[in-house]
Amino acid sequence: MNKKHRFITGFLSKKKIRTQLYMVYVVAVFVPITIVGIYLLTYVSDLLTTYYKDSLRAEAIRIRTLFSELTSDVYDKTTDLMFDDEINRILTTQEYPADKVSNSVYYCPAINNLVYANVDIEDITIYTDNSYADNYLHFEAITEELEQEEWMQRAHESYVSFWTTMEMVDSNGKSYWNLCLVRRIAGIGDDNMAVMVIKVKDGYIKGRISSKEYGIRILTDNNVTCYSPITSEYGESVDLSIDWEDDYFFSSGTYWEDGKQLFYSVTGLGMYQSTSNTYIVTTSDTAYYEIRKIVLTCSLILFAALTLPLLLILFFTTHFSSRVMTLRQEMKKVSNQDYDIIPEFHGEDELSEVFSDLQVLVKTIEEKNAQVYASQLRDEQLQNEQQKMEMKMLASQINPHFLYNTLESIRMQALTAGNKEVANSIKLLGKSMRYVLENTGTGFITLQKEMDYIETYIAIQKMRFGDRVNFEVAVEADIVLEEYLILPFLVQPVIENAIIHGLEGITENGCIKMNLSVVRGYLQLSVTDNGIGMNEEELSRLRENINKNTLNASTSIGLGNIDRRVKLCYGEQYGLSVRSNVGKGTTVVIRLPLERKEV
């Protein structure tokens, strides 16, 4: 695998980028899309061809079923006429009716009732060589002209019924075609000849088997159209390869007719109680063109899928090669110590970044001597500053410790002198300073340490303000101060603000209450004073200043800084909020996450 990879990368690296992109297009786009496209086109064409052929066959089978029912029904309805006594009497009579008068017409009730009672039968005519029967309606004499008709000759040869088409002439002299059942009547003696012709009503056939989507033709076994929605096609033949002896024949395909390519399906039908076969032909003159249209559409999509990427590749390679050549020329100028390069290189891609690096490189080279000299001076200055900083850091470490030790010495002197009050004050001040010294720069401390520092701070304030400042702490039962961590110096500025601003003007019984609780999964520290409070305008201004961090010592001490520290450390959902009422005091709430100390 590594050898193949090296071979491919080595081969491509010897070609220009434009050629590489063209090769990638051919291998990754053109060849796969062409193969898949040709397969899909072939598949879609075959699928649509199969669909139309199956649809035509299903339609032919539907028509065959209906046509078989229709013709069988006609045959059954006329069977009784073959043995009707009245018809037999008429066919064998050798005399005229007793009441015969000139131009009189007599009816055969059986035929007359059957014709008028059935919508599928247009007419029934019995052709006979008995001239006496000619006086009855539906009976006609067999003339020499009729003897020459193919269907009459066929009837002479056999008593088996058959189906055929006959050209008729209506009362207006207009010819038309009918599908007819021809049945020779037996039992009238060897000297008599009678053939019954049942004409099926064309409109009834059309109503039963018509189709708006497909063309239909029904052919007799002598290739003559016996039914078609198009009247002009009656009696015509079709140029299809059909086995006229096979009543189960089936075939499908395409053929040309009147300059159009048609899909067709042929299915055979052996007629009920007959020697005749009929063949149902269903055609579609749109299937071929629908398939061609869909295949053409898919071909256009395939062409677009190949052409659009090619156009994009051509545009991109031309644009990219032009930019690469420009970059190469500018880099060659720099390599020849010509630093007068173009000021801009359009784009925001990697080439632009390379050109930006080239600009930086050029600027660096042009200012090399000045940078070297400035670097030497800067190194000397940094060394001096570093020495000063080290001295300051050493002093900053020594001074607080020195001051704390000095305070401890003064406290011991006060104790020696018996002045316990002064000694206690110095002790509290030293304890406060030690807390500040130890926790400056510390990330987190326990809640217990912060509260110890608050107690020390309150004790110092009590020495200053006396009964004016009182302090109460309420800790929720579930909170263990040693287990929770907070930022140092978070609560003291809030209490200092309450003393300076909240209790301003309070001469006695001033009270600051601190409450530690867990509210909806947050650690909530609230500081409430019973001071003068604020009106809505003052409270709104204070909140705005906290959000903008524009507070100063004259307004509120460190509240904005606390809010900013909490949000920076924990997120925007945490922080400080203030509520107040005039004459009822102010409450400052700090909301923190529940962070436990790792054991």
Least confident of 79-88, 130-139, 299-308, 398-407: 398-407
CA distance 256 to 368: 88
Residue 395: its pLDDT value, please?
A: 41
Q: Could you tell me which residues are beta bridge partners of residue 445?
A: 486
What strand order describes the sheet that includes 194-200? 139-141, 121-128, 194-200, 175-184, 162-169
Residue 386 pLDDT > 50: no
Nearest Cα to 64, choosing from 236, 201, 284, 227?
A: 227
Which span out of 266-280, 336-350, 426-440 was modeled with the highest average pLDDT?
266-280
Q: How far is CA 516 from CA 485, 522, 589, in A?
A: 13, 11, 10
Residue 493: its pLDDT value, please?
A: 86
CA distance 232 to 178: 13
Residue 156: its pLDDT value, please?
A: 87
Specify the amino acid at residue 306: L
Residues written for the chain: 599
Residue 173 pLDDT > 80: no
Class of the domain covering 470-593: alpha beta
CA 565 to chain centre: 46
Higher pLDDT, 599 or 386: 599
Residue 2: its pLDDT value, please?
A: 61
For residue 85, what are the contacts with CB-CB under 8 A and spacing of at least 6?
A: none
Which span out of 121-125, 260-264, 317-321, 489-493 was modeled with the highest average pLDDT?
121-125
Element (H, E) at 193: none
Residue 431: its pLDDT value, please?
A: 65
For residue 252, what are the contacts with CB-CB under 8 A and spacing of at least 6?
A: 53, 56, 57, 263, 264, 265, 266
SS3 519: strand
**Mean pLDDT over the full length of the chain:** 79
Work out whether strand 139-141 and strand 162-169 pair parallel, antiparallel, or are unpaired: unpaired
Residue 398: its pLDDT value, please?
A: 41
Residue 10 pLDDT > 60: no
Least confident of 127-141, 151-165, 213-227, 395-409: 395-409
- Predicted TM-score (pTM) of this structure: 0.50
Residue 587: its pLDDT value, please?
A: 92
Residue 97 pLDDT > 70: no
Residue 198 pLDDT > 90: yes
- What average pLDDT does range 339-360 have in this prediction? 74
Residue 104: its pLDDT value, please?
A: 53
Work out whether strand 470-475 and strand 445-446 pair parallel, antiparallel, or are unpaired: unpaired
Nearest Cα to 71, choosing from 283, 282, 281, 269?
A: 269
Q: What is the DSSP string of 363-389?
A: HHHHTHHHHHHHHHHHHHHHHHHHHHH
Element (H, E) at 112: helix 109-117
Residue 421 pLDDT > 80: no
Nearest Cα to 433, choosing from 461, 403, 463, 397?
A: 403
Residue 102: its pLDDT value, please?
A: 46
Residue 154 pLDDT > 50: yes
Element (H, E) at 192: none
Higher pLDDT, 196 or 106: 196
Least confident of 129-133, 149-153, 514-518: 129-133
Nearest Cα to 400, choosing from 437, 435, 429, 438?
A: 437
How would residue 390 be classed by pLDDT, with cut points 50, 70 and 90? very low
- What average pLDDT does range 186-194 have in this prediction? 77
Residue 397: its pLDDT value, please?
A: 44
- What average pLDDT does range 141-153 have in this prediction? 88
CA distance 517 to 591: 10
Least confident of 397-401, 474-478, 592-596: 397-401
% of the chain at pLDDT higher than 90: 7
Give the 3-state secondary structure of 40-51: HHHHHHHHHHHH
Q: Radius of gyration of the chain from Cα atoms?
A: 57
Higher pLDDT, 255 or 527: 527
Residue 15: its pLDDT value, please?
A: 66
CB-based contact 339:366 (threshold 8 Å): yes
Residue 127 pLDDT > 80: yes
% of the chain at pLDDT higher than 70: 81
Biggest distance spanned by C-alpha atoms of the chain: 176
Q: What are the structure tokens assigned to 335, written together?
A: 């390599």
3-state helix, strand, coil in the chain (%, to 5): 55, 20, 25
Q: What is the DSSP string of 475-512?
A: E-TT--TTTBEE-TTSSHHHHHHIIIIITTT--S--EE
Higher pLDDT, 466 or 439: 466
Residue 583 pLDDT > 50: yes
Residue 197 pLDDT > 90: yes
Work out whether strand 485-486 and strand 445-446 pair parallel, antiparallel, or are unpaired: antiparallel
- What average pLDDT does range 523-548 have in this prediction? 87
CA 307 to chain centre: 26
CB-based contact 136:97 (threshold 8 Å): no
Residue 136: its pLDDT value, please?
A: 83
Half-sphere exposure of 537 (CA within 13 A, CB side): 0
Residue 394 pLDDT > 50: no
How would residue 420 be classed by pLDDT, with cut points 50, 70 and 90? low
Task: Give the angle subtended at the CA of 208 by the CAs of 204 and 214, to the nearest 5°.
Answer: 120
- What average pLDDT does range 104-117 have in this prediction? 82
Which span out of 28-37, 326-335, 376-385 was modeled with the highest average pLDDT?
28-37
Helices (H), 229-286: none
Least confident of 93-107, 167-181, 346-360, 513-527: 93-107
CA distance 96 to 308: 93
Where do the structural domains in the chain lie, given as residue ranges? 59-285, 470-593
- What average pLDDT does range 228-232 have in this prediction? 83
Residue 393 pLDDT > 50: no
- What average pLDDT does range 303-330 have in this prediction? 80
Residue 379 pLDDT > 70: no
Residue 372: its pLDDT value, please?
A: 60
Tell me: the pLDDT tens digits for 39-78? 888 888 889 888 888 898 998 899 889 988 999 999 998 9
Residue 247 CB-density burial (10 A; 0-12 exposed, 13-18 middle, 19+ buried): middle
Query: Using a CB cutoff of 8 Å and minimum separation of 24, what contacts does 366-370 make?
Result: 366/339
CB-based contact 506:538 (threshold 8 Å): no
Residue 506 pLDDT > 90: no
Q: Which residue has the tokens 């059309």?
A: 206
- What average pLDDT does range 360-377 have in this prediction? 68
CA 171 to chain centre: 68
Helices (H), 210-349: 287-335
CB-based contact 526:514 (threshold 8 Å): yes
Q: How far is CA 580 from CA 18, 55, 598, in A?
A: 73, 85, 37
Residue 392 pLDDT > 60: no
Q: Could you tell me which residues are beta bridge partners of residue 216?
A: 282
